[in-house]
Amino acid sequence: MKRVLSGMQSSGQLTIGNYIGALRNYVKLQHLHRCYFMVVDMHAITVPQDPAALKEQTESIAALYIAAGLDPNKASIFLQSHVHAHAELGWIMTTLTHMGELERMTQFKDKSEGKESVGAGLFTYPSLMAADILLYNADLIPVGDDQKQHLELTRDLANRFNNRFGDMFVMPQPYMPEIGARIMSLDDASKKMSKSSPNAGSYIAMLDEPSVIRKKLSRAVTDSGREVKYDPQNKPEVSNLISIYSHFAEMSVVEIEAKYDGQGYGPFKKDLAEQIVAVLEPIQQRYHEIRKSGEIFDILKKGAQEAAEVANETLLEVKKRMGFVVI
Ligand code: ATP
Ligand code: MG
């Protein structure tokens, strides 16, 4: 049995990109391995968050985890800020990280681009993410393609620690879907779909009403052709929609291409909206029940206790090896 860890930032509402790239795999992996899934609220504050919105988003994501099929009896589900060892090992990892390594991170470049002032936490974020993973000595990290670079840094930091202070950490590996590891924006296929985008038309949120999903898809950018064909190089917009279709309908790319052969984009986009609605509607129903019941707080409390047991032990060992006085 492997150890699995991952999390979503409470920086907005979960999108179908988060679902396809990561959450669906969380649900699958909980049956196979020892899993830790958190809402990474401390990462969310690397960009400014309104306090009321942050609280709502954090609770909402935790409830969506359960609504999408995570089982608190199978996986530990918790908030990053509830397990203090994350902040502490995060600081330690920051001291082991080189400035040049952080400067190379494309996420930092993307998120800081054009901003007048950028918080230092956005820059050092990858060191905290390394701590998140290493605290559980996790082998498998279900993430989207955009996190690959941060995971490579985590492995470099694990290696650096092992070399300086003695072997302790395993090398974590990404776990990604073959198709859909990078779902692109509906309005611009050169940018990944992101929940923190200021343009709500660029993403489909897991909690979007069916009418909103239909509208967003009808407005999704395509090309001037009419062939439903998977060709990411030449038809990035349509290929992105095919990837999404493939996940929601559980159909292969070839089957989808055959189904819409000669029909143009209209029927394809309409059906895609219905496929998404069919999967999301029951999740949304469960979500509203879970929010009403208040059960999420007990789940998060239990999850944090389970996580802290492992995390505190790792942190203590790290501190001993580095020469901190431990009494
Ligand atoms: P933000 O804009 O605040 O960074 P985000 O949508 O990128 O939000 P994260 O919380 O950063 O979401 O990432 C949560 C998980 O979802 C990660 O595993 C990430 O790799 C994955 N993910 C994010 N966006 C996509 C996407 N467009 N396609 C596939 N996976 C994605
Ligand atoms: Mg992100």
ipTM: 0.99
Residue range 281-301: mean pLDDT, rounded = 98
* pLDDT score, position 214: 98
Protein residue closest via CA to atom 20 of ligand 1: 144
CATH of the domain at 104: 3.40.50.620
Is the residue at 234 inside a domain? yes
Q: Is residue 194 a known part of a binding site?
A: yes
* pLDDT score, position 44: 98
- Both tokens assigned to 228: 């439903």
For residues 88 and 34, membership in a common domain is answered with: yes
Give tens-digit pLDDT for 146-204: 999 999 999 999 999 999 999 999 999 999 999 899 999 999 999 999 999 999 999 99
Is the residue at 81 inside a domain? yes
- pLDDT, the chain, mean: 97
Residue range 203-227: mean pLDDT, rounded = 97
Residue range 98-119: mean pLDDT, rounded = 95
Give the ligand whose atoms come closest to the C-alpha of residue 143. Answer: 1
CATH of the domain at 270: 1.10.240.10
Host domain of residue 240: 200-288
For residues 15 and 82, membership in a common domain is answered with: yes
Domain total in the chain: 2
For residues 284 and 303, membership in a common domain is answered with: no
pLDDT band at 312 (very low <50, low <70, confident <90, very high): very high
CB atoms within 10 A of CB 10: 29
Is the residue at 188 inside a domain? no
Which ligand 1 atom is nearest residue 144's CA?
20
Is the residue at 249 inside a domain? yes
Is the residue at 181 inside a domain? no
For residues 140 and 284, membership in a common domain is answered with: no
Q: Which of 158, 160, 153 is nearest to 137 (CA)?
A: 158
Is the residue at 195 inside a domain? no
* pLDDT score, position 181: 95
* pLDDT score, position 204: 98
* pLDDT score, position 26: 98
Alpha-carbon distance of 259 to 117, in angstroms, equals 49
Residue range 2-21: mean pLDDT, rounded = 98
The answer to whether the CB of 228 falls within 8 A of the CB of 263 is yes
For residues 171 and 32, membership in a common domain is answered with: yes
pLDDT band at 40 (very low <50, low <70, confident <90, very high): very high
For residues 133 and 169, membership in a common domain is answered with: yes
Residues in the chain: 327
Give the H or E element holding residue 96: helix 85-96
Protein residue closest via CA to atom 14 of ligand 1: 8
pLDDT band at 315 (very low <50, low <70, confident <90, very high): very high
The answer to whether the CB of 314 falls within 8 A of the CB of 89 is yes
For residues 107 and 23, membership in a common domain is answered with: yes
Cα(135) to ligand 2 centroid in Å equals: 21
Cα(197) to ligand 2 centroid in Å equals: 10
Residue range 9-28: mean pLDDT, rounded = 98
pLDDT band at 37 (very low <50, low <70, confident <90, very high): very high
C-alpha to C-alpha distances, 43 to 80, 98, 120, 135, 184, nearest whole angstrom: 9, 19, 12, 16, 22
Catalytic residues: 111, 192, 195
Give the ligand whose atoms come closest to the C-alpha of residue 26. Answer: 1
148-165 vs 85-96: helix crossing angle, rounded to 10: 80
Residue range 109-135: mean pLDDT, rounded = 96
Cα(136) to ligand 1 centroid in Å equals: 21
For residues 134 and 263, membership in a common domain is answered with: no
pLDDT band at 142 (very low <50, low <70, confident <90, very high): very high
